[in-house]
Chains A and B, each alone.
Chain A
Amino acid sequence: MDARLKLAFTLGFILTTSLAPPGSWVTYLLLWTLVLSLVQLAQVQIGFLMRRSLLALPFALAALPQLFTHQGTMPPAITLSPVHLDLLAPGVIRFFSILLKSWISVQAAVLLVTTTPLPELLMALRWLHVPQLLVAITALMWRYLVVLVDEAKCLLTSRNARSPSLPGSGGSLFWRGHVTGGMAGSLLLRSIERSERVFSAMQARGYDGEIRSLPRPVLSRKQIIFLWLALLGLAVVLVIGTLVMGRAV
């Protein structure tokens, strides 16, 4: 499938998920079922997706205060002594809603990046009018990340090759920290030098400060109709979730 369709649909999906009202468990289930169906279609391993979706955990930390601070008319579900924190039922619902929504959204995003080569994803970002400079920086970061990782590995190999394990050897923690800091500094300097060489290579081929790229192939009418129908489907799920299953929490 064209990366532009996948990206637009994923963004629509994440928007739908985040707009679903708190406590709308059936809506979440529907959305999650959709993700799992797509995972099955794309033949992505579910275990891989679940491991990657743990990225959503920090969102849970951000939602933690909801457990205790949400204002509502309901009585406290639990009172935690001795600091006297009231665990309010609406707060609990909101907390789990945020947790589930972020988890499902991260799964959709992981599915997108797993099934789409980055060059195509970058092209899709340009199609969505993401600023060219941002897309170019992302492309360069992705291109040179592996190169820098290779350089870091070389530094580590070099250190290990000169780190014999003899009785009483190893150096103090401070000394080891000093060596590691030196390696990090060396990697930074190498990165800066490389960035200068890359910039020279860009200049040598005419780079003048303006980002240019090849024109994108046009989406067919069939593809555009398919995208709109898919987004409409998401909107229907959201409306049902809000009107029928949504709870005023």
Chain B
Amino acid sequence: MNQVVDIQELNYTYPDGNAALRAVSLQITAGEKVALLGPNGAGKSTLLLHLNGILTGSGKINICGLELNKTNLGRIRALVGLVFQNPDDQLFSPTVNDDVAYGPLYMGLAPEEVERRTRQALAAVHMEGFAPRMPYHLSSGEKKRIAIATVLSMQPEILVLDEPSAGLDPRARRELISLLTGLPQTLLLATHDMALVRELAQRAIVMDRGEIVANGVTGEILAKREVLAEHGLE
């Protein structure tokens, strides 16, 4: 099986002494859609931030066969598209076009290729006409779509999303699920949204207090009500 994410014994402690990850080991194969479940403070976001080297703990991380280290950091950041929980953190440029073009620009692509990818990414999230718009003037659902486009333009192998459905109304949430279902990339999403997990993810991983406490097929994990309740999920 072609493993695109291989994490071995990952530990991370924040500078204030809070141990956020404890011996986390995790493998994800190409094309898998995996949900990361857990209560607040379980370490989900911390784990996601490790996948493209924003945080660096002890342990081993391999992305698409490349070991995560300083030498491979640039290539790995192009392979892992990280979408933050709050789109206002992700969309920092004056226009949508600038934001979507940001990643390809830093990949050192030619201007024509940057423009082509920007157009493609906006089309993939059905936001073609939004290129000259200012991010502040968009709705939450639109911002979320554009945030996804900002990483799709880098054509990543793995898409990592932190709480993708947070703050969305039912219609925007429905559109997001439809969009994510159609994407060919390997997907890892951290969420509390059990309905989203049920519809989208083939595999679910439960984390609590920095550890993986359950890992399996979504249907089976969601059926273990006592495990979910024990770890603050329902």
Contacts and interface: CB of A to CB of B under 8 A. Distances in A.
Interface of A: 118-119, 122, 139-140, 142-144, 146-147, 194, 197-198, 200-208, 212-215
Given A118-B94, A119-B94, A215 B54 contact: no
Q: On chain B, which size bracket covers the interface?
A: 20 to 34
B52 A204 contact: yes
Given A197-B89, A203-B54, A142 B94 contact: yes
B136 interface: yes
Contact of A197 (B86, B111, B136): B86
Given A146-B136, A207-B106, A214 B111 contact: yes
A130 B233 CA distance: 52
A216 B140 CA distance: 30
B89 A206 contact: no
B86 A206 contact: no
Residue of B52, B74, B80, B95 ringed by the most chain A CB atoms within 10 A: B95
B135 A143 contact: yes
Nearest to B74: A206
A208 B106 contact: yes
Contacts of B78: 206
Interface of B: 49, 52, 54, 74, 77-78, 80, 82, 84, 86, 88-90, 92-95, 98, 101-103, 105-107, 111, 114-115, 132, 134-136, 150-151, 154
B77 A205 contact: yes
Given A200-B54, A200-B84, A206-B77, A215 B111 contact: yes
Contacts of A198: 89, 92
A204 B107 CA distance: 12
- Classify the interface of chain A: helix, strand, loop or mixed: helix
B98 A119 contact: yes
Contacts of A144: 92
Given A206-B74, A212-B106, A214-B101, A147 B88 contact: yes
Given A194-B89, A205-B154, A119 B134 contact: yes
Pairs of residues from A and B, 3 with the lowest C-beta to C-beta distance, nearest first: A206-B106, A119-B94, A205-B103
B94 A143 contact: yes
A144 B115 CA distance: 25
Contact of B94 (A139, A194, A197, A200): A139
Nearest to A146: B136
A12 to B, nearest CB: 25
B98 A201 contact: no
6 contacts: A143-B136, A201-B90, A205-B151, A206-B77, A214-B98, A214-B111
A230 B103 CA distance: 39
B136 A204 contact: no
Contacts of A197: 84, 86, 89
Given A205-B103, A215-B111, 11 more contacts: A119-B134, A197-B89, A198-B92, A201-B89, A201-B92, A205-B77, A205-B106, A205-B151, A213-B98, A214-B111, A214-B114
B92 A206 contact: no
B76 to A, nearest CB: 10
A143 B92 contact: yes
Contact of A205 (B114, B136, B150): B150
Contacts of B77: 203-206
Contacts of A146: 136
